[in-house]
Amino acid sequence: MLPKYKRILLKLSGESFLGNKSNGFDPFSPEIIEQYANDIKTVTDLGVQVAIVIGGGNIYRGMNEAESGIERAHGDYMGMLATMINGMAMQAMLEKIGVYTRLQSAIKMEQIAEPYIRRKAIRHLEKGRVVIFGAGTGNPYFTTDTAGSLRAIEIKADVILKGTRVDGIYTADPEKDLTATRYEKITYHECIGRNLKVMDMTAFTLCMENNLPIIVFDMNKPGNLLEVVLGMNVGTLVS
């Protein structure tokens, strides 16, 4: 089977890097990052170009000053640094299994990452390297979902794949409502009309305005990424 998508942007949440752990001092589950790396290798071996944006929620997430005592913008920069740590972890696991990678940062960190340069990122992808975009958008008050949408549009990805722990978008919260069913496909407008939270509004609007399809799927199930890339009925397609 030939892949349906030639260039993808994979958005992974930082929290998923925890696996079954509940944070503490160790924000990573090596098993889960290893599984992600293997799944990513499988699709790059098919010739699919893969860019990745990873969140930072397993390490630090910006919050309002009343909660944290830290000024919001300052905390957001801390969150962006957290995404770099996750990016480096993902990079290490991919390189270990023979996948060439480049880490590009939206905030300059010359010793560990290239600066984000759109044309260079595209060049890396064309050469078969996995490009990891770190430090979000480089701006406070944004999320890594927005970074994912923005970078996906910039590099002209065919689709943004939002890897989560649930296998798609449901009519209601499947953990609370046993009658909830999964949408195979849904339009952007239906999502808004039914108040289904796929991404934050900024990220979602960017996708909608630029006709970038979103697939929400369970990244924790090995082999799922491949099925998504092959266009099989996995997760929920928003378009």
What is the contact surface with ligand UDP in residues (CB under 6 A)?
13-15, 55-57, 61-62, 75-76, 79-80, 82-83, 136-137, 139-140, 142-144, 146-147
Q: With respect to ligand UDP, which residue has the nearer C-beta, 25 or 178?
A: 25
Q: With respect to ligand UDP, which residue has the nearer C-beta, 54 or 191?
A: 54
141 is in an annotated binding site: yes
12 is in an annotated binding site: yes
Order of all β-strands in the sheet with 101-105 = 114-115, 101-105, 130-134, 49-54, 7-12, 159-164, 214-218, 236-238, 185-186
144 is in an annotated binding site: yes
47 is in an annotated binding site: no
> Which pair of structure tokens corresponds to residue 67?
């909660």
CB of 50 to ligand UDP, least distance (A): 18
Q: With respect to ligand UDP, which residue has the nearer C-beta, 16 or 236?
A: 16
d(CA 151, CA 160): 10
Q: With respect to ligand UDP, which residue has the nearer C-beta, 147 or 226?
A: 147
CB of 137 to ligand UDP, least distance (A): 3
Taking residue 117's Cβ as centre, other Cβ atoms within 10 Å add up to: 11
13 is in an annotated binding site: yes
CB of 167 to ligand UDP, least distance (A): 18
Q: With respect to ligand UDP, which residue has the nearer C-beta, 17 or 183?
A: 17
Residue-by-residue DSSP string for 173-188: -TTT-TT--B-SEE-H
Phi then psi for residue 11, to 5 deg, are -105, 120
Residue 137 CB-density burial (10 A; 0-12 exposed, 13-18 middle, 19+ buried):
buried
CB of 49 to ligand UDP, least distance (A): 22
Residue nearest to ligand UDP (CB): 55
CB of 229 to ligand UDP, least distance (A): 21
**Is residue 80 classed as helix, strand or coil in its secondary structure?**
helix
> Which pair of structure tokens corresponds to residue 201?
């509004």
CB of 219 to ligand UDP, least distance (A): 12
d(CA 12, CA 116): 19
57 is in an annotated binding site: yes
197 is in an annotated binding site: no
Q: With respect to ligand UDP, which residue has the nearer C-beta, 66 or 178?
A: 66
Of the candidates 3, 18, 10, the one whose C-alpha atom is nearest the C-alpha of residue 51 is 10
From the annotation, which residues make up the binding site for ATP? 11-14, 57, 61, 164, 170, 173
